[in-house]
Structure 1
Amino acid sequence: MDNQFVADRNSPPYQAGSFSFSDIGQALTAQVNALKIPPSPGSLQAPNEVGSLEGRLFEATANVKVLTSQIAMHMSREWRDMLFRQLDSLHDPEEWDPEDAPIQKASFATFLKAIFQLAPKARPGLGLSYRGYLLAAWVHDTDRLTIEFLPNDRVRWVISKDVENEPERFAGDVHVSRLVESLKPYEPQRWLI
């Protein structure tokens, strides 16, 4: 046995006879296991009661974070962390209107599919419709691209841009698989890069 370890074990705070090596081993094993297996989002407990406003908001954000975790290996940590902060901010109980619905998991699933197709370098500003549909907006000068992510892989988009100092608006309602193609005539790279 290492003499240094024995000397340390007999000096404060390791007083001889205060605990056994098996206690140390169990404590170290528990600490290592805690590092290896962080608590899953699904194991977290919602604040207060499930039916409370805080509980509903927590459950909605936890559901979409769990959904994100299933594809997290395809996202940068920075992008994912920023997304989670935006979702938490959107569901702040202090700012919440009880008439509104929290984010719908099906809307968020459509958002994830669209983001992987668009592959934007610029992060969008996020919002929520009163029905719980996620909204994303990209702005370039006075031009704006806004997309509403609906359940069942549908998206609604609106482009607003100035042409010769006159506002023009274009809109579409398509399946998420057709989003990139439907935006092509409007040069979406101006917002996404």
Structure 2
Amino acid sequence: MKTIAHTKLLENLKQKILSYTLVDDDLLQEQMQCYHQIELKKGDTLVVPGQLVHHFYYVATGCIYYYRLEEGEQKVVEFYTDDIFFTDVPAYVKGTPSNYYLKATEATVVYAITKSDAENSFKKSHQLERFGRLSMQEAFIKIFTRVERLNSRTNEERYLRLLAKRPDLMQRVPQYLIASYLGLTPVGLSKLRKRLGKG
């Protein structure tokens, strides 16, 4: 049973790569050999501050949150859920130690490829280089637009947008993490939900 599930998750990964650009079958098969599976339990961490980030990741199933600690409080930057590529982009690109955590909020399966394996494949193939560029660009833009939204929208606008775009997060992620992601306190989120008749 586990083998069938693993095969299905790998097929999803292949389709995700192909969603960025066409890749010849032989090149794609070679690329797939570079990924290794990591199974995480709820609360397990992929990255901690001070760690060098040598991998680019794909969430096959589950949820990872990206956060930093400020005066002992978690400040959530992003949630990565099923079928998303992610990493700590600044640390990965610059080769510097991370300032962030990447942690599972639930049982999660990710596939990881090392930076050296990824870069070697990009040298061999323009198709894979295009995939690498577009997937990294998407990961960067996700963080950039998220920060921009935090600064330019009201609490209510951010909450309603999250509800419309990612309603699953409300069921999968503790409310205090949702509050942090929205730039609110848990009490502030609770009051906002009551005011909007959402809880």
Determine which structure has more spread, i.e. the larger CA radius of gyration.
Answer: 1
TM-score under structure 2 length normalisation: 0.27
TM normalised by structure 1 equals 0.28
By relative contact order (CA 8 Å, sep 6+), the higher-ranking structure is 2
